[in-house]
Amino acid sequence: MQYVSTRGGVPAATYTEIILQGLAKDGGLFVPVQYPQVSKETLKSWRGLNYAQLATAVTALFAKDMNRSTIAHLCESTYTSETYDHGREGTDFSKIVPLVWLDKEVGILELSNGPTLAFKDMAMQYLGALFECVLSKRQEKLNILGATSGDTGSAAEYAMRGREGIKVFMLSPKGRMSDFQRAQMYSLLDGNIFNIAVEGSFDDAQDIVKAVSADLEFKTKYSIGTVNSINWARIAAQVVYYFSGWLQAAENEDEEVAFSVPSGNFGDVLAGWIAKQMGLPIRQLIVATNENDVLYEFFKTGRYKVRDSAHTYVTSSPSMDISKASNFERYVYDICGKDPERVCELWNELKTKGEFLLDGPEWERVKTSGVCSARSTHEERIERIRKTWNEHQFLVDPHTADGLNAAYKMKIDGVKTICLETALPAKFGKTIVEAVGFEPLLPNGYEGISEKPQKVVDMPANVQLVKEFIEQNA
C-alpha cells in the first residue's frame, strides 16, 4: 500500500517510510492512495478474534511492507490485559475495550484502561513498540516532538519512556491541563523525556510543532518525528477499536451502528471515518465538541473558521480546547475528491483569511457523509455526569460526558449508538466533585501522584527557543 500527502508535493511512500516522518515535507498529512476494503464475509470471520488478533488483521491491511508475523508480535505484546488493567473495578480487562450498555441503544466503549487512563494509550502503546522495532532494524534514532492538550503527552511519554533510540520533547499549554494530567506528565523523570510548558494555548504549541517540522533541514538533522494524531500509524491503530465496538454491538453483518466521539484534534473521529470508508457499517459519526465549537459550526454551515488562542475557551473538558483540528485536513481531502490542489487552495485561504467555506457539491458531500456534530456547555456536561452516575452508577469524565450529550442529541431511533470513552474520571477530580459531590477513585499505583517531584521547563511560545532546547538535549 502506498501513501501520499494531502497536498500532493511528495512522492508516494510505504507505511514504514512514513511512520517516522509524521508531517509530510510539503506540510500535508499522509493518507493511503486507497482505503483497504473489508467485506461482510471478513467481518463475520473476525467475530471470534481477540483484540490483539483483530489489531493484527486491521493493521496488516495498512502495513503491507511489514511481515505479518512482526505485526502480530507487536500487537500481541501490546494489547494485553496486564497493560490495560487500570479501569473500573469489575471490568473484564481481557476484552481490552469492553462495551458497556447504559440502556438498550446507548453504550460506552471503554478505551481508558491503559497506563495513563486515557484512550490515547490504545494507539500510543503500539506506536512505542513499533518505533523501537523499526529504529532498531534501521540502526537509527528518533527525537519525537509533540503537542498535547492533556492526554496525548502522557500517553506518548509512558509509551516511549526508556525505549532505545527515542527521546520525547512534549509541549503543553501552561496552566491549561488538569492537576492530574500535569502530574502524570511532569512526574516522569526518565532521561529520554523532556516536558516544555508553553505560555499560550494548545494551538500555539501545535503551531510550534508544525513550524519545526516544516524546517526540513532542522527536521532531518535532528531526526524529528511526531506521535500525535498527524502520525498515520496512530490513526490506523485507532481504527481497530471501531471494528471492535461494532463487533460487540452488531447482531449481524448488515446492522449499522452510530459512534459519538468527543473531539479535539479530529484524530479519534477520523479513525471512525476511515473505518466507515473501509466498509464498516456505520450509520453516523457524531463529532462532540465543547464550547470550542469550530467543528460544530462547520458541520452546521460548511464554514471552517479557526480561532486564535485568545478566543479559545478554557473549559472543564480541557483536552477538547482546540480550535485548529489538524486531522480535519484528511477528512476535507476525501470530501474534495482526494484533490491535493483543492486542499492547498483551501489551506492557503485558511492561512490568509482564517477561514474557508465549502459550498455547492462539496457541501452536499459533507451533508451526505454521515458525519454530524453537537456541542455541550459546562452545565450540560456536569448534568450528564450526574445523571449517568445517578441512573446507571457509571462515572464518566467530562469529555465522555460531552460525547454522551451529543449521542442523545443526535440519536437515531432504532440505531445503537456507541460513545467512545476519552479518559477515566480520576483525571478530572474537581469537575467530578462538582457533579456528584465526591472524589473519583484513583486506580492502584496512582495514589499521591500530585505530590511526586516534577520535571518541566517553562517557555514562551517561540519556535526558535524550542529548536535551541532540542539542539541542547537531542
Mean pLDDT of the chain: 94
Over the stretch 309-336, which tens digit does the pLDDT of each residue have? 788 898 999 889 888 898 999 999 999 9
CA separation for the pair 254, 257 (Å, rounded): 10
Report, as an integer, the average pLDDT of 358-362: 97
Q: Which of 1, 19, 7 is nearest to 341 (CA)?
A: 7
Buried-exposed string 199-212: b where 16+ CB fall within 10 A, e elsewhere:
ebbbbbbbbbbbeb
Across the strands, what pairs with 101? 107
Which domains does the chain possess? 1-140+229-443 (3.40.50.1100)
Q: What pLDDT sits at residue 20?
A: 83
CA separation for the pair 244, 56 (Å, rounded): 12
pTM across the whole model: 0.92
The one-letter amino acid at 346: L
Which member of 25, 95, 120, 305 is catalytic? 120
Over the stretch 397-412, which tens digit does the pLDDT of each residue have? 999 999 999 999 999 9
Question: Contact at 8 Å (CB) between 158 and 121?
Answer: yes
Q: What pLDDT sits at residue 444?
A: 76
Strands 257-262 vs 166-173: parallel, antiparallel or unpaired: unpaired
Kindly tell me if the per-residue pLDDT of 34 is higher than 90: yes
CA separation for the pair 377, 414 (Å, rounded): 27
Q: What pLDDT sits at residue 309?
A: 79
Report, as an integer, the average pLDDT of 28-54: 97
Q: Is 410 helix (H, G, I), strand (E, B) or coil?
A: coil
120 in active site: yes
Kindly tell me if the per-residue pLDDT of 236 is higher than 90: yes
Q: What pLDDT sits at residue 53?
A: 98
Kindly tell me if the per-residue pLDDT of 149 is higher than 80: no
Q: What pLDDT sits at residue 206?
A: 86
Q: What pLDDT sits at residue 321?
A: 85
Specify the long-range contacts of residues 436-441, CB closer than 8 Å, at least 24 apart.
436/385, 436/386, 436/389, 436/395, 440/395
Q: What is the share, in percent, of the chain residues with pLDDT greater than 90?
A: 82
Q: How far is CA 17 from CA 135, 291, 344, in A?
A: 11, 38, 23
Q: How far is CA 293 from CA 28, 51, 320, 422, in A?
A: 24, 34, 9, 18
Cα 447 to its chain centre, rounded Å, is 26
Report, as an integer, the average pLDDT of 41-51: 97
Question: Contact at 8 Å (CB) between 134 and 20?
Answer: yes
Question: Contact at 8 Å (CB) between 124 and 155?
Answer: yes
Over the stretch 177-228, which tens digit does the pLDDT of each residue have? 888 889 889 999 999 999 999 999 888 998 999 899 889 899 999 999 878 7
The C-alpha cell of 362 is what? 462539496
Q: Is 166 helix (H, G, I), strand (E, B) or coil?
A: strand
Q: What pLDDT sits at residue 362?
A: 98
The C-alpha cell of 234 is what? 496512530
CA separation for the pair 239, 64 (Å, rounded): 16
The C-alpha cell of 266 is what? 479530529
The C-alpha cell of 185 is what? 506528565
Q: What are phi and psi of 299, to 5 degrees?
A: -70, -10
Which alpha helices (H) appear in 215-288, and where do they start and end?
A: 216-221, 232-249, 267-278
Kindly tell me if the per-residue pLDDT of 150 is higher than 80: no
